[in-house]
A and B are shown apart, each in its own frame.
Chain A
Amino acid sequence: MANFLAIAIVLNIIESAIPVIPVPGAKLGFANVVTLIVLYVYSFKDASLLTIARVILVSLLTGKLLGPVFYMSMSGAILSILAMGFFKKTNFFGVLGVSVLGSVFHCIGQIIGGYFVIGSTAIVLYLPIMLFLSIPAGVVTGIITQRFLKIWQTWNRDLI
């Protein structure tokens, strides 16, 4: 678990340092790959703890703890993990679907957090573009997770 947390933190920091996508502020959310893996390999509880710990530690490392961006990351992360936990439990969707839904709910959570940070509903106007971009982001993280889980399963089979 500690290894997973470390990987998630590193991914999170590296990702925010390189502007991969031309749209300012938008990220793929590679750290969410780790959350998804832990959600599928371990449990919802572990995945939630890992995600919250990641958000706190990353903001601590980058010196943004309790800043405006921190609240947005936190509310996004919480809503996203709750959504992913719920949709995984229903078993209706696979990893890809759960990942995309997590990504969509992450945006909604961020906007809710942002509303409290600036006290204005104007931020809701950013939602259309964010939600639209969240789909490809969710698909990419979902595919990476799927591939990882496949390899993980073969490993485990070999070990037993």
Chain B
Amino acid sequence: MMQASKQKKRDLILVGLLFILLGGAFLMFRLLAFRDDAALANIYYGTSSDPIVTIDFTKQKITRHHDQSLPDGISESYPIIDEEQRTITLLGDYTINGVRQIVVISYDYGRRSVQIIEEKSPNNICSREGESTGFPLICLPNRIRVEFVTDQGDFTV
């Protein structure tokens, strides 16, 4: 009985401490991270660290580095870049009835932002994330991600 009440007390202390610690870390992160404007946004597919497309907000330019590597049997080539509509379409990993689904990403030079506007997945986490100006957008079931670069110097072509 003694042991149980001691444990109970420790449990409450643990929950309180974790709440303060992790809550504080979360608030700090929210307040301090991504305050700088993004210079670039890179779009990646799979585990590759080679961007497929780079959106340069400063120069207002899209660079297509290479095609998305896809298995044989898919006739179209991705990404499809529509500079008028300001969208980039890639093929995600998520399948419906065996058909891989597209992921449509829109970008805005003026606001230096990227948004995933169309994508199929169970929870739609990345499209519900909305417009982002710094926080990475990760479509996990589709294995497509957008990462922002703030410092031009970090990026070598």
Which A residues contact B (CB, under 8 angstroms)?
A: 16, 19, 24-25, 67-69, 72, 91-97, 100-101, 104, 114, 116-120, 122-123, 125-126, 128-129, 131-132, 134-135, 139, 142
Question: Which B23-52 residues have C-beta < 8 A from chain A?
Answer: 23, 25-26, 29-30, 33, 44, 46-49
Which B residues contact A (CB, under 8 angstroms)?
A: 3-4, 7-8, 10-12, 14-15, 18-19, 22-23, 25-26, 29-30, 33, 44, 46-49, 93, 122-125, 128-129, 135-136, 138, 140-141, 143, 145, 147
Contact partner of A128 (CB less than 8 A), chosen from B25, B124, B143, is B25
Contact partner of B128 (CB less than 8 A), chosen from A24, A93, A125, is A24
| B138 x A118 contact (CB < 8 A) | yes
Chain B: which residue is nearest A101 at the CB level? B14
A155 to B29, CA, bound (A): 47
Q: Is the interface of A mostly helix, strand, loop or mixed?
A: helix
| B8 x A94 contact (CB < 8 A) | yes
A114 to B125, CA, bound (A): 14
Please indicate the chain A residues that have their CB under 8 angstroms from the CB of B12 in the complex. Answer: 96
A24 to B121, CA, bound (A): 12
| A122 x B125 contact (CB < 8 A) | no
| A68 x B140 contact (CB < 8 A) | yes
| A120 x B7 contact (CB < 8 A) | no
Please indicate the chain A residues that have their CB under 8 angstroms from the CB of B143 in the complex. Answer: 68, 117-118
Contact partner of A122 (CB less than 8 A), chosen from B46, B48, B141, B145, is B145
14 contacts between A and B (CB under 8 A): A24-B124, A24-B128, A68-B143, A69-B140, A93-B10, A95-B11, A96-B15, A97-B11, A100-B11, A118-B46, A120-B47, A122-B136, A125-B135, A135-B18
